[in-house]
Amino acid sequence: MFPDSKIPEGPLAEKWDKHKFNVKLVNPANKRKYDIIVVGTGLAGASAAASLAELGYNVKAFTYHDSPRRAHSIAAQGGINAAKNYQNDGDSVYRLFYDTIKGGDYRAREANVYRLAQVSVNIIDQCVAQGVPFAREYGGLLANRSFGGAQVSRTFYARGQTGQQLLLGAYSALSRQVAYGKVKLYTRTEMLDVVIVDGQARGIITRNLITGEIEQHAAHAVVLATGGYGNVFYLSTNAKYSNATAAWRAHKKGAYFANPCFTQIHPTCIPVSGDYQSKLTLMSESLRNDGRVWVPASKETAERLRKGEIRVSDIREEDRDYFLERKYPAFGNLVPRDVASRNAKMMCDEGRGVGSSGLAVFLDFADTIKRNGADWVSQKYGNLFDMYAKITGENPYEQPMRIYPAVHYTMGGLWVDYNLQTTVPGLYATGECNFSDHGANRLGASALMQGLADGYFVIPYTIGDYLAQTPPKPVTTEHPAFKQAEAEVRARVQQLMSINGTRTPDDFHKALGHIMWEYCGMARTAEGLQHAKAEIQKLRREFWSDLKLAGTEAEMNQALEKAGRVADFLELGELMVDDAYNRNESCGGHFREEYQTPEGEALRDDENFTYVAAWEYTGDNRASVLHKEDLHFENVKLTQRSYK
Amino acid sequence: MAGSNPNAKPMNLTLKVWRQKNRNAQGSIVDYQVKDISPDMSFLEMLDVLNEDLLRQGEEPVAFDHDCREGICGSCNLFINGRAHGPEPGTTTCQLHMRKFNDGDTITIEPWRANAFPVNKDLSVDRSAFDRIIQAGGYISVNTGGTPDANEIPIPKEIADRAFEAATCIACGACVASCKNASAMLFVSAKVSQLALLPQGHVERKSRVENMVAQMDKEGFGACTNIGSCAAECPVGISLENIAILNREFLAAKATSNNLA
């Protein structure tokens, strides 16, 4: 029997309000008797920690960074969606809900997505009150722009660094609670396990990254806001430290992992330039508002360009193929990310790619610069253009950018119910760490929205329902479960230190990344996935017999930190492959080559796969058990997504 | 097409790197050779190459802070050839590319040097003093919920843009590292300016600047003597004008202060 997703009864638009009324409350005087651990201080974590502390709970906030402000939310560029309809262009809560469900290729829960759209409007109010300097019009009111998968302008932004400004807003709220003593902040502290007491989450085990000390922390509830697992691919737009360890440890302690194969490949990233490459850099989707995506119309022209026989400017207008505008006239360059990525790959597979590797397409601003001038472009996208120039050594004002898809976001994550609680009572997951709102593909500018929705406006209500049913007695680390979890963490750290082989953590990570990108990336096949599974198992055995580390565990040891994360990626990678193999359909970012329309679009199988795949861990090297949460669409009719 | 200079050849470099076991240990400069460095590599990717070599030989890799490698998280903080974030203006260490160096170069790499930023290990320093300054008042005191509609507070575009410019500080600490006094004035002023410019920030304007400046002094940062190397070396172009705004805010607050502590 699948755990109850706790979706409230009643009409879609009333579910959240009714639920807020029906959940139990903790009275103000009792709130101070409850301790809550929040792991991660990005948008989802900082907003949750601050909001819970404001309510009166005692919060302990953990980050492996030196400051909460370093969390990878800070790198989000383009913007945050909200159904404000400030532009009078027909937006509404229902339209944002509809766009998100459709964008996610009908693999998300209606009730969760509707709630997300509802609270989106509160987020903007909250952020402005905090002093977040969103872009404004000359009249002093807020500006908007449009993003992929939508035909309205509902994206709020702060030049190309919206994530930074929103995170600094949440960080300021968190800092205020630290000053009040309501949040105790643990920096450079990494969670390495969750502690379960009598079936309920009651604490975590951490490692101090400066001293190496292993420590126990107890609380009445634990919130994981630890981000996504895109770095399983090694090369991604994620920050270097971004990892799956907290979520994976929770999974191994009983939390189901949902839709692990749903990964988002972002269409506009700077292409790989060499084997030494350590990460990929995103060029914001907002660039597709004004940039036009194209490749040479013929293979021959593309080849001459790659060889340097001709220059971009030599290619006449009629010899260029603006393939997104051609194939999707209604949405043009603003089709959703999965569609844009897949088409870029198709062009390159046809031999029409550009750049020395042939794995790139052009994003061209020449028309916009001609129409509005370089200054206008600089005002809007200056920092992105500068970043491109620094990385590639090319001037994007003078020649088109080269872009290629890269792993960017993971829609999958810990399974949570409507309250954002995992299958372990007392253990919650918010933001990218959970699977909840984006289905098989996330729309641009919706990650910031979800992280802040969960942290500011959902978890403060829903966690009270659980705590109200938990006696307000002090929690301690005295239970033997703490000692046992700590012993396991120590044993694992010592095991990693004692292998004394020949290969570095990065070496294994790169090898895993190659397997994942090749077989579980933009296009997947049953055969390839089976091959990948065997390869990952082999690599995992090699890891545990041939890993090389140096130094000791009782000091700052960045290679050891890395090794622990890679060890978990090596297990999660296999589950992603299993999930992709199980899902015999194409939907959103999950493209199985066997399942496509004659035009090469994703072909869903609604009859058999309209469900959330939630995987239960059953032991090391044992097959995970699949549980299915059926998705019910009562308001939206399932159709083939069309952006034509 | 890849990279700026198709003729650029791989480089061999000598690195002089600060190694220090922990906060209390004595540190020293150690020389390393790195070979076949591509001009298209980022500076940190070059250090990755060094660290992989070291680890394979069973030596401890060089500890350094980094994360997003996109110039926005503010983690990376290397003092390269005597300059914060190296030779290229307006650039964080992670966005510095090896095409700015030449084959045969010797490159000196040190951590930020400031009493308020103790060394954790090698090139990693403790910048938690910045967090404590923000905790002292770098916020607007609003709880979640109950805020007015976002468009109820019109803000002139010019003001919003200036507030945004100040708000883009990434708290890397280059300003402190570049200042002969190790002053944190540019960092503090950026937050004070952002919130003083915006109408939402006016309510707590006085207490904010007083508390943040008091905490800055408590952390052991030096005084500002208006040299301006902070702004010159700031990777995101935080303007010196912010320090003028901070000084004005501070004087105005002190002149009318209820909090004469």
In this predicted structure, the answer to whether residue A28 has a pLDDT above a threshold of 70 is: yes
Res. B1 pLDDT band, cuts 50 70 90: very low
Give the closest-approach CA distance of B16 to chain A in angstroms: 20
Domain coordinates of chain B in residue numbers? 11-121, 128-255
Interface of B with A in 129-168 (CB under 8 A): 130-131, 134-136, 138-145, 147-151, 153-157, 160-161, 163-164, 167-168
The whole-number average pLDDT for the span A21-41 is 97
Residue of B nearest to A554 (CA): B22
Q: How many other C-beta atoms lie within 10 A of the C-beta of residue A583?
A: 23
Q: Residue B127: list chain A partners with CB under 8 A.
A: 66-67
The whole-number average pLDDT for the span B16-36 is 98
Report the alpha-carbon distance of residue B207 to residue B203 in Å, rounded.
9
> For residue B84, what pLDDT is reported?
98
3-class SS at B17? strand
Q: pLDDT (tens digit, 9 = 90+) per residue, A104-127?
A: 999 999 999 999 999 999 999 999
Res. A327 pLDDT band, cuts 50 70 90: very high
Give the closest-approach CA distance of B254 to chain A in angstroms: 22
* Assigned CATH topology for domain B128-255: Fumarate Reductase Iron-sulfur Protein; Chain B, domain 2 (1.10.1060)
Q: pLDDT (tens digit, 9 = 90+) per residue, A564-619?
A: 999 999 999 999 999 999 999 999 999 999 999 998 889 999 999 999 999 999 99
The whole-number average pLDDT for the span A509-515 is 97
Contact with chain A for residue B61, Cβ under 8 A = yes
Contact with chain A for residue B42, Cβ under 8 A = yes
Report the alpha-carbon distance of residue A49 to residue A38 in Å, rounded.
6
Report the alpha-carbon distance of residue B184 to residue A555 in Å, rounded.
29
3-class SS at A143? coil
Least confident of A469-478, A594-603, B72-81: A594-603
Res. A39 pLDDT band, cuts 50 70 90: very high
> For residue A368, what pLDDT is reported?
96
Contact yes or no for B147 and A129 at CB 8 A? yes
Contact with chain A for residue B124, Cβ under 8 A = yes
Structure tokens belonging to residue A2: 């699948």
Q: pLDDT (tens digit, 9 = 90+) per residue, A260-313?
A: 999 999 999 999 988 899 999 998 888 998 999 999 999 999 999 999 999 999
Q: Are A459 and A48 in contact (CB under 8 A)?
A: yes
Active site residues of A: 337
Q: pLDDT (tens digit, 9 = 90+) per residue, A176-232?
A: 999 999 999 999 999 999 999 999 999 999 999 999 999 999 999 999 999 999 999
Half-sphere exposure of A362 (CA within 13 A, CB side): 27
C-alpha dihedral sign at A603, A607, A612, A615: negative
Res. B2 pLDDT band, cuts 50 70 90: very low
> For residue B167, what pLDDT is reported?
98
> For residue A278, what pLDDT is reported?
95
> For residue B5, what pLDDT is reported?
47
Q: What angle do CA A227, A517, A606 make, to 5 degrees?
A: 75
Interface of A with B in 387-446 (CB under 8 A): 387, 390-394, 402
- Domains in chain A (CATH in brackets) are 12-262+411-467 (3.50.50.60), 266-407 (3.90.700.10), 480-610 (1.20.58.100)
Residues recorded for chain B? 261
Q: Residue A506: list chain B partners with CB under 8 A.
A: 48, 52
**What type of residue is B145?**
G
In terms of Cβ atoms closer than 10 Å to its own Cβ (0-12, 13-18, 19+), residue A644 is exposed
Where in A528-570 does DSSP place strands (E)? none
Report the alpha-carbon distance of residue A490 to residue B132 in Å, rounded.
32
Sequence-ordered alpha helix ranges (H) in chain B: 43-56, 128-135, 157-167, 174-178, 185-197, 205-218, 229-233, 241-255
Of residues B60, B151, B153, nearest to A550 (C-beta): B60
Closest CA to A240 of A71, A476, A127: A71
Res. A531 pLDDT band, cuts 50 70 90: very high
Candidate CATH numbers 3.10.20.30, 3.30.450.20, 3.40.50.1000, 3.30.420.40; the one for domain B11-121: 3.10.20.30
Pairing of strands A625-630, A611-616: antiparallel
Give the closest-approach CA distance of B145 to chain A in angstroms: 7
Query: How confident is the prediction for chain B on average, in pLDDT?
Result: 95
Residue of A nearest to B202 (CA): A131
